[in-house]
Chain A
Amino acid sequence: MSERKLKLLHMYPNVLDLYGDSGNVEVLRYRCAQRGITLEVYQHLMNKPDNTDFSDMDIIYLGGGADYEQQLLADDLMSCKDRIFKAYENKVFLLMICGGYQLLGKYYKDSNGERIPGLGLFSYHTEASTNKRDRCIGNIIVETELVGKKYKVIGFENHGGQTTDVKTPFGKVLHGNGNVRSGETEGYCEERVIATYLHGPLLSKNPQLADYIISKALERQGADSTLAPINDKLEEACRKELLTRLLSK
């Protein structure tokens, strides 16, 4: 069998890096390495133009950021619009957390009332209350069917933005708020898109979701997409404890 290799583009790693979101890349790298898959990580930095071919990537990742930082990078993100659209058409897997999720929609109106235009790749949009204390904060559990069966995704949400007009949500909220305060659904997804408010980081406590992303990325290459099981005893014990604690309330 030939060596399996994936390329991940981490956009704005030093700007969109709130709440340990870069941990998602660390989890993907770890789970790839356990299967002998090399994960090469490339970066796109703000105001540092590069010629990276986004469509040559297998996964594009955007984390979450503070309002101030999201404003700063809006222009740079806009300059990447064509490349991101093309990558999406070429079935590159898009993983976006919080700020990344918001910025790929139509627009984001932040807690200062400032309207930041989004890329408009997806039709949802987000508005935050100008009361900075009005935020959805806490542990959250979302049930998704993206991975081919019902799977409970555990994370932490902390967002002022309320996202509406979401055509295909990532999952159903079992505990927490989701896209809007006391909402029923959370995030946005397609076969090769996950956009969500979940920090934690997202992939740390949801190994099957991480593996779904890896195998979809391999599948696009036409490579063998089967992933051998690895030692997930800690993750399983952690999930069992948190699901009991949060869902029995």
Chain B
Amino acid sequence: MKPLNFLTVLFGKAMVKTLKLMGRDAGNFPGLVLWTLNKNYLKVFSCDCPIIAVTGTNGKTSTTNFLNNLFRSLKGKNGKKAKIITNMQGNNLDTGIGSMLLQYCDMNGHIDADYLVLEVDESHVPVIFKHLKLETLVVLNFFRDQLDRNGEVETLILKIHKFLKTYNGNLVLNADDPNVARLGYSNPKNKNVYYYNVEKYEGATDELYEAGEGRFCPKCGEELAYDYYQYSHIGRFHCPKCGYGNIKPYVQLQSIDFENNSFSFEGESYTTKHMGIYHLYNLSAVYAVSKLYNIDHRVVKKVFGKFEVNNGRLEKFETANASMLLNLAKNPVGANMTLRLLNQDKGEKELLFVLNDNIADGTDVSWIWDINFSIFNGVTRVVTSGTRAYDIAIRIKCSGYDPDRITVQPDLDKAAAEIFKNGGTKYGIANYTAIQPTRAALKRYIERKGGEKS
């Protein structure tokens, strides 16, 4: 036992306990305190079990939740259900992960589990896995996201690239994102690189439809050529000059059927609750991991078919005669994905958009101008809310939408009442710090008035 480690763990655990006694969630705080005392505090933790981590701009929480459900169905060391430690609530910075590990470790900092399934913020991958041995890293995508906080996308990719130069574990990469696929070359000696993708779907376009990031070949700088775009810059690309992008995927999601919510992997058919294209990419990543760990496809089938993340990720809210599908959108691609679902829906509907500019959101809201509102099928009314309710209203107006059909209501409870004033179909989009308050306001409204018809 190293006495210093013991003291660190003791002190950390005491903080977690105190916070719990105070009725508070441990969150980031204990990790932050330890980090302040010692930047390398994560090295007090040790663990023998496999660590599977998910990173990327969009879809981390959903993918991690799906993986957690898969691994839970496996048998653990003691013959019982596997013990999984996971940060499903999205505490994905090093301080959040440290705080969580403090709750599970023994006094020597040892973590006893069968699997650690972690979602990790893109910029924190190197610092976390400098000390914890990573077995599998899944990289979903890189989009422009909170540029004022995270810096340019390229800086972020280079950070992970540097970490991967000496990494020899499993690397599960999105073959259709040129910014992700390039990480397969970070360590030419790593034989454990696996690509996943989704076959061309009916919503794919010949031209870039939504603002994208990977326009140039990361190897030679030539402009990339695309056979098609699935969404944003995700699609089948190749470099006409150096050939970068000719990738044979390890798994591919195929035979997409929107009517039956079904698709297939390797000839086997699966279903899911929602058919958003970005969601199918997440499932393809999950399937690749399930294959690496030899998880029975019947288990995969059950998890894909039944599991829903909710928590503001395609979550349904219903009143007597209205229903809303609410989705988190931290960046233009997230918002565009909800708009694709809205446009796939042929009937009339109303949209609630909640936009905040708190520090955790990034205080720059200009990303909303990268949302593509040019198709806005059957939207009869828009209600906007949040600390930047007017900004999003102006954005929608300048896309050509009638300003008289936009209601600005910065107060969330009033906005919830406003959007449910009429019955029918609603869609909701809320950004990072807006999503939980929006859920709470919708629930409060439904508790009070949900039984009545609008």
Which positions in A face B, CB cutoff 8 Å? 14-15, 17-23, 26-27, 30, 33, 46-47, 66-69, 72, 132-133, 137-139, 156, 158, 199-201, 204-205, 231, 233-235, 237-238, 241
Contact = CB atoms under 8 A, between A and B. Distances in A.
B211 A238 contact: no
Contacts of A46: 223
A17 B154 CA distance: 14
Contacts of B188: none
Given A234-B390, A238-B391, A14 B215 contact: yes
B368 interface: yes
Contacts of A67: 152, 154
B398 to A, nearest CB: 5
Contacts of A18: 144, 147, 152
Contact of B208 (A14, A15, A22, A199): A14
A139 B403 CA distance: 25
A199 B154 CA distance: 20
Contacts of B216: 69, 72
Given A19-B366, A20-B366, A156-B364, A234 B151 contact: no
Given A19-B147, A158-B148, A233-B403, 4 more contacts: A27-B398, A30-B397, A205-B394, A238-B393
A47 B223 contact: yes
30 contacts: A14-B208, A14-B215, A15-B215, A17-B211, A18-B152, A19-B147, A20-B367, A20-B368, A22-B369, A30-B400, A33-B400, A67-B152, A69-B216, A72-B216, A132-B155, A133-B151, A138-B148, A156-B366, A158-B147, A199-B364, A204-B369, A204-B391, A204-B395, A204-B398, A231-B403, A234-B403, A238-B390, A238-B391, A238-B393, A241-B390
Nearest to B397: A234
Nearest to B155: A132
Nearest to A133: B151
Interface in B337-354: none
Nearest to A156: B364
Interface in B144-171: 144, 147-148, 151-155
B50 interface: no
B398 A26 contact: yes
By secondary structure, the A interface counts as mixed
Contact of A201 (B148, B151, B369, B399): B369
B369 A20 contact: yes
A46 B370 CA distance: 21
A97 B426 CA distance: 37
B221 interface: yes
Given A15-B215, A20-B368, A22-B369, A238 B152 contact: no
A66 B403 CA distance: 34
Given A199-B364, A200-B366, A237 B408 contact: yes
A137 B395 CA distance: 22
B406 interface: yes
Interface residues of B, number: 34
A132 B151 contact: yes
A137 B148 contact: yes
Nearest to B154: A68
Contacts of B397: 30, 234
A61 B208 CA distance: 21
A47 B240 CA distance: 14
B363 interface: yes
B225 to A, nearest CB: 13
A234 B148 contact: no
Contacts of A15: 215
A46 B397 CA distance: 31
A20 B391 CA distance: 13
Contacts of A233: 403
Contacts of A17: 211
A237 B392 CA distance: 12
A66 B153 CA distance: 9
Nearest to A67: B152
Interface in B418-438: none
Interface string B378-403: 00000000000011011101111001
Contacts of B211: 17, 22
A234 B394 contact: yes
Given A72-B221, A158-B147, A204-B394, A26 B364 contact: no
A63 B13 CA distance: 50
Contacts of B208: 14
A33 B278 CA distance: 35
Contacts of A26: 369, 398-399
Given A20-B370, A132-B151, A30 B364 contact: no
A63 to B, nearest CB: 11
Contacts of A69: 216
Given A72-B216, A158-B148, A238-B390, A23 B398 contact: yes
B369 to A, nearest CB: 3
Contacts of A199: 364, 366
